[in-house]
Amino acid sequence: MTEEAVEGRRKWLSTPVLILAVIVGLVLGVVGARFGFGVATGGNLAAVASERGLSGEQAEAALATFVPPGEHDEYLLFASGGHSGQMHVIGVPSMRLLKTIPVFAPDAWSGYGFGADWTMELLEHGSDPAKNDPLLWGDTHHPALSETDGDYDGRFLYINDRANGRIALVDLRDFKTREIYDIPNLQTSHGGVFATPNTEYVHISAKTPSPLWEPDGFAELDEYEEKFRGMSTFLSVDQDTGHFIADESFQIELPPYNQDLADAGKLASDGYAFINSYNTEMATGGILEGEPPLETGAVAADFDYLHIIDWHKAEQVVAEGKYVEHNGMRVITLDTAIEEGLLHFAPEPRNPHGVDISPDGNYIVVSGKLDPNTTIYSIERIERAIAEQDFEGHDPFGVPILTFDSVVEAQVEVGGGPLHTQFDGDGHAYTSLFVESAVAKWTLGPEAGVSEGDAWELLDKIPVHYNIGHLATSHGDTVGATRDWLVAMNKWSVDRHTPVGTLHPQNFQLIDVSGDEMRLVRDMPIGFGEPHYAQMISVDVLENQVWATYPEVGMDTLTKELSPVATTYEDARIEDNGDVVDVYMAVLRSHFKPDVVRVREGQTVNFHLTNIETAQDATHGFAIPGYNAQASLDPGETLTVTIDADRTGSWGFYCTEFCSALHLEMQGWLLVEPG
Ligand code: K7E
Ligand code: CUA
């Protein structure tokens, strides 16, 4: 954001309710200062504020977050869509929804999962190959932007499927999902995704342990300790394409605890990965068998374990061949991980949730949802304790547990139900308080540039509405976190928005963190699948990398290369090869060439469609009634829609995207003659 704007927001007045005269003065003052235009124009603003009953504070919040028509936001927020299986792209500070990216679930608008072969193939990943039964949903939780030197670089975006243990890659040139990878030896996932500082790897770990070594994947729950295991996965990333390279990836076997959130070390802690855990009690539930509910068993102990993984060391261990191959993945067994000293635990107050590394990389912040404190470990203390073998014991599997007092740097009492922490690069941390429905702002320590006297202090708290989960600051997971905006991602909205039935929207709240005190400036109802985490990236980083149209006509969405089946207008044709008919179709305003396609019942028809347009927004659709087929072609894009012509009839296909004055005329015929 511009310095002027920051300055404008820092000048915030604090009086909550002001009389009209003050509103007038305030609004005029702010508008005058920021835009430098005359009082005559400002007179209307004061009248509007007064007519609408806005306080001075509300009027200023509106101005501070208003993005004029035709202008762009400063940041983009990439928010997971929870069990909608999608991702949402939101402008900050306007909080306008710009796009939904379908990832694990079909989306009719973009034709994802409704015809184009590439979309059907992607969605097959993770489906049971023995059944013709595609897995059509996911539960996206934690997006991770790719990083260079520890900061978002705007190339790729990764997201986990918490439900099915999968991970997806989105290419940020065209904002399309490009790969879904069903990770071996993981049933579910939560810990990740995070990218290592140069996206050498993206990390994803299990949530629920599973009997992953059993041939049929089954074991009784009374064999839990013996047969169930967790898994931490480091997926190697191809730097040119962002794709996962399975052959260069590895996993580390973990005890059957619930491995929860995770983060990558950076700068001082580069080379380490941290994963929280809960249910180190290994409770399995079984109420009808007379056992306590899982939740009771899982909170019995005072401490769980922060997992500290030295992934540089893990790379060496793999290079030395000390792994076993399991379901196509190189796995460092738990015994090897212990022997090689690449896995340590540190006690963490019971049932923690978030673990977040400060921008300087020195501090590891853990929030225990049942403890009003955040617990801060330092990498220096951790490294010293490991070197000195300063252990307070071992877990039942032999993993050394570092001495709590040796590795903990500080604890800060932040309030009820702390979950997640973000940073602003100015030595501040912001922690979401689920139980208290608030955000706490507090200071880090000297390694983050805070003086001894000011370190580890609670500075400010702001109520949010309601039940906040994650929160995201701008570049908040990176070495380059900025002190601009914070988005609180609230699970409940209760009465904040106009009633829309019994399923309420969740609520994003935009908080200005540029001043000494946090200011709530905007609510955004989220009327679609439940976001968990989000990352916020400066538009400056993305702007030059995002394509307005495909740079060459005939480009394949997945490979970003010219497709062998792309066609020009001149070459559009139909090739009847007996069982298979190949239709090479050019798509443009406002017709299809060819527009009459004649086939016989029982033939397979491949529609190779090329949108030969080069103008921004000249998108066309291709929908065939009765065949559950709808594709969307961006300018320059090529894709193939394959159908089995098993329904005879004279089917009128048409363009679904309102593309021109003659959009309605953009139609044709698929004649399926009885065979
Ligand atoms: Cu706290 Cu899945 Cu990150 Cu939801 S998790 S809030
Ligand atoms: Cu093409 Cu409507």
- Write down the domain spans for the chain: 3-65, 555-673
Cα–Cα separations (whole angstroms), residue 410 to 377, 406, 422, 462, 485: 7, 11, 17, 23, 26
Tell whether pTM > 0.85.
Answer: yes
For residue 126, give the nearest of 108, 139, 114, 143 by alpha carbon.
Answer: 139
CA-658 nearest atom, ligand 2:
2
Binding site membership of 384 for ligand 2 (Cβ less than 6 Å):
no
- Report whether pLDDT(19) > 60: no
What is the structure's pLDDT at 246?
Answer: 96
What is the structure's pLDDT at 178?
Answer: 97
Distance 144 CA to ligand 1 centre (A): 14
Q: Which strand ranges, in their side-by-side order, compose the sheet holding 438-443? A: 418-423, 428-433, 438-443, 458-463
Tens digit of each residue's pLDDT (9 = 90 or more) over 496-514: 999 999 999 999 999 999 9
In this structure, how many other beta carbons lie within 10 angstroms of the beta carbon of residue 68? Answer: 7
- Report whether pLDDT(616) > 50: yes
- Report whether pLDDT(25) > 70: no
- Report whether pLDDT(379) > 70: yes
Distance 261 CA to ligand 1 centre (A): 8
Q: Please state, in angstroms and rounded to a whole number, the distance separating the CA atoms of residues 550 and 557.
A: 9
Residues in contact with 454: Cβ distance below 8 Å, sequence separation at least 6, in sequence order: 443
In percent, the amount of the chain with pLDDT more than 70 equals 93
Least confident range of 120-124, 129-133, 469-473: 129-133
What is the structure's pLDDT at 42?
Answer: 56
Tens digit of each residue's pLDDT (9 = 90 or more) over 306-329: 999 999 999 999 999 999 999 999
Residues in contact with 361: Cβ distance below 8 Å, sequence separation at least 6, in sequence order: 150, 265, 266, 267, 268, 269, 270, 379, 479
What is the structure's pLDDT at 35?
Answer: 42
Label residue 45 by pLDDT band (50, 70, 90).
confident
Q: Please state, in angstroms and rounded to a whole number, the distance separating the CA atoms of residues 529 and 507.
A: 12
Tens digit of each residue's pLDDT (9 = 90 or more) over 65-98: 999 999 999 999 999 999 999 999 999 999 999 9
Q: Whose CA is nearest to atom 1 of ligand 2?
A: 620
Binding site membership of 623 for ligand 2 (Cβ less than 6 Å):
no
- Report whether pLDDT(13) > 50: no
- Report whether pLDDT(23) > 90: no
Q: Using most ligand atoms within 8 A of CB, pick from 80, 83, 141, 507 the residue to mutate for ligand 1.
A: 141
Distance 549 CA to ligand 1 centre (A): 35
Distance 604 CA to ligand 1 centre (A): 45
CA-420 nearest atom, ligand 1:
1
Binding site membership of 620 for ligand 2 (Cβ less than 6 Å):
yes
Binding site membership of 655 for ligand 2 (Cβ less than 6 Å):
yes
Q: Whose CA is nearest to atom 4 of ligand 1?
A: 532
Label residue 34 by pLDDT band (50, 70, 90).
very low
What is the structure's pLDDT at 15?
Answer: 38
Binding site membership of 618 for ligand 2 (Cβ less than 6 Å):
no
Distance 260 CA to ligand 1 centre (A): 9
CATH number of 555-673: 2.60.40.420
In this structure, how many other beta carbons lie within 10 angstroms of the beta carbon of residue 515? Answer: 15
Extended strands (E) in 601-648: 604-611, 620-624, 629-633, 637-644
Distance 622 CA to ligand 2 centre (A): 8
Q: Using most ligand atoms within 8 A of CB, pick from 193, 489, 533 the residue to mutate for ligand 1.
A: 533
Tell me which ligand sits closest to the C-alpha of residue 262.
Answer: 1
Label residue 38 by pLDDT band (50, 70, 90).
very low
Mean per-residue pLDDT for 348-358?
A: 95
For residue 343, give the nearest of 314, 315, 309, 366 by alpha carbon.
Answer: 309
- Report whether pLDDT(391) > 50: yes
Mean pLDDT rounded to a whole number for the chain: 93
Binding site membership of 613 for ligand 2 (Cβ less than 6 Å):
no
Binding site membership of 283 for ligand 2 (Cβ less than 6 Å):
no
Tell me which ligand sits closest to the C-alpha of residue 623.
Answer: 2
pLDDT: is 9 or 404 the higher one? 404
